[in-house]
Chains A and B, each alone.
Chain A
Amino acid sequence: MPVLRIPTPLRAYTNGQAEVTVSGANISEALVDLTSQYPTIKPHLFNDDGGLRPFVNLFVGEHNIKDLQGVDTPIKDGEKIMIIPSIAGG
């Protein structure tokens, strides 16, 4: 199963977990599973209309999904997907 790597600002919503194993064949399905496991993370990642918030960057390997197929980007079993936070002050 794919693994989502969680940045520190979002670990408050995953019971401190840095990695969450999810089911799904693409990014969209993986995120749906993440939010079903940890519902309080949902408003941080998704808009009210259900779309991924534009500033959220997900990387499959070296590649931002924005440069691939967006949330339809396929993912493989065991693949690690990073949710990258913005870089704070200074």
Chain B
Amino acid sequence: MTLLDFRLTESKFLSLDGLPAHVGNTPLLPLRRLSPGLSPRTQIFAKAEWFNPGGSVKDRPALNIIQTAIRNGDLGNGKRLLDSTSGNMGISYATFGAALGIPVTLALPASASPERISILKALGAELILTDPLEGSDGAILKARELAAERPDLYWYANQYNNQANWQAHYLSTGPEILCQTNEQVTHFIAGLGTSGTLMGTGRYLREQLPNVKVLAFQPDAPFHGLEGLKHMPSAIKPGIYDESFAGDPLPVKTEAAHEMVLRLAREEGLFVGISSGAAAVAALQVASELEEGVVVTVFPDAGYKYLSDKALWEGK
């Protein structure tokens, strides 16, 4: 048999679907060694979102936003996908954009880590770097401006206001957690960025398990080092975020999240990013107050994109 005779579609052993088919169905990992003081009837689990092809939880909303836009005729017509990003959403857009032949333009603060900028360039995204002093909100305003100026050139994905963002989690993250916990999840807690993870997963779980507690966490102050997370009172509020949905978010201090990132690496073998550290801090706080329960959170990405952050790994 020559290589030309090899019929890929008949393979029984290899998954031959493209990248989109591999988004989601991430492992749900127990945190065992981090929580020795917990009630023996309380467990914490984290969705390991770095198992997605693009390396983060953002694959879920990015793919759903792109597929919805293609279905609606907004993309696939030569227009460029345009959005603002803190990094991960941009990497997911660029990944699927490359795979599906859709050009991608991203506004992101010039202070984005060198790892993120290098990955985005490698994937062929066009980058518009915005004033680092204005943070993510500056990138949002720039994307809005470009979209208004050139509607012929850009389709503005607008992740903060796009319903396909939270719906991705309603359709995937929520059902996966329900199934993986055998419907025993009692508490779900997620960090606030766009709020898509919280709103979509939370809505689904509440529909299926009316007694489940859905909780949010956010940085404890406007100026923080929890990359990827928003301090809602001082930021542009995402249109998809319903403040009444999960009550007051738990505040997480940057230093506590940094310390937790190191503990996760060294005590659990989980090499994760800063927002995962924050998620573990919040989940532990919730779990420590329970006699029994199954607390689930989301670890958005791995630690690779933060290696240049000396504060995180070296404490300076």
Q: Interface residues, chain A, CB within 8 Å of chain B?
A: 5-10, 12, 18, 44-45, 53-57, 66, 70, 82-90
Closest to B83 in A: A90
Contact status B194-A89, CB under 8 Å = yes
| Extra pairs beyond A8-B138, A88-B136, A89-B192 (16, CB < 8 Å) | A7-B134, A7-B135, A7-B223, A9-B135, A44-B222, A53-B254, A54-B311, A55-B225, A55-B254, A56-B225, A66-B316, A87-B108, A87-B135, A88-B193, A89-B230, A89-B238
Contact status B111-A84, CB under 8 Å = yes
Closest 5 CB pairs of A and B: A89-B193, A55-B225, A9-B222, A54-B311, A89-B230
Q: With a CB–CB cut-off of 8 A, which chain A residues contact B238?
A: 89
Give CA–CA (A43, B70) in the complex, Å.
Answer: 48
Q: With a CB–CB cut-off of 8 A, which chain B residues contact A82?
A: 132-133
Give CA–CA (A4, B136) in the complex, Å.
Answer: 20
Closest to B257 in A: A55
Q: Could you list some 27 contacts between A and B, CB below 8 A?
A: A6-B133, A8-B134, A8-B138, A9-B222, A9-B231, A12-B234, A44-B221, A54-B255, A55-B224, A55-B254, A56-B225, A57-B111, A85-B133, A86-B226, A87-B86, A87-B109, A87-B111, A87-B136, A88-B137, A88-B227, A88-B231, A89-B193, A89-B229, A89-B230, A89-B235, A90-B88, A90-B89
Give CA–CA (A18, B133) in the complex, Å.
Answer: 9
B85, CB-defined interface residue at 8 Å: yes
Given contacts A8-B134, A9-B135, A54-B258, contact A88 B229 (CB under 8 A): yes
Interface range for B: 35 or more
- How close is A88's CB to chain B, nearest CB, in angstroms? 4
Contact status A66-B310, CB under 8 Å = yes
B159, CB-defined interface residue at 8 Å: yes
Task: Identify which of residues 76-125 in chain B touch chain A, using a CB-to-CB cut-off of 8 Å.
Answer: 84-89, 108-109, 111-112
Contact status B223-A90, CB under 8 Å = no
Closest to A41 in B: B223
Closest to B192 in A: A89
Give CA–CA (A51, B312) in the complex, Å.
Answer: 16
Tally inter-chain residue pairs, CB-CB below 8 A.
Answer: 111
Q: With a CB–CB cut-off of 8 A, which chain B residues contact A55?
A: 224-225, 254-255, 258, 311-312
Given contacts A89-B192, A89-B193, contact A54 B84 (CB under 8 A): no
Contact status A90-B316, CB under 8 Å = no
Give CA–CA (A58, B223) in the complex, Å.
Answer: 13
Closest to A51 in B: B316
Contact status A88-B315, CB under 8 Å = no
Contact status B222-A87, CB under 8 Å = no
Residue from B84, B136, B192 having most chain A Cβ neighbours under 10 A: B136
- How close is B158's CB to chain A, nearest CB, in angstroms? 10
Contact status B136-A90, CB under 8 Å = yes
Closest to B224 in A: A86
Q: With a CB–CB cut-off of 8 A, which chain B residues contact A87?
A: 86-87, 108-109, 111-112, 135-136, 227-228
Closest to B112 in A: A87
As a 0/1 sequence over residues 278 to 316 of chain B, the CB contacts with chain A under 8 angstroms (1 = contact) are: 000000000000000000000000000000001110011
Give CA–CA (A8, B109) in the complex, Å.
Answer: 13
Q: With a CB–CB cut-off of 8 A, which chain A residues contact B108?
A: 87
Q: With a CB–CB cut-off of 8 A, which chain B residues contact A5?
A: 133
Give CA–CA (A70, B193) in the complex, Å.
Answer: 31
Contact status B224-A54, CB under 8 Å = no
Contact status A86-B227, CB under 8 Å = yes
Contact status B255-A84, CB under 8 Å = no
Give CA–CA (A88, B111) in the complex, Å.
Answer: 11
Give CA–CA (A53, B311) in the complex, Å.
Answer: 9
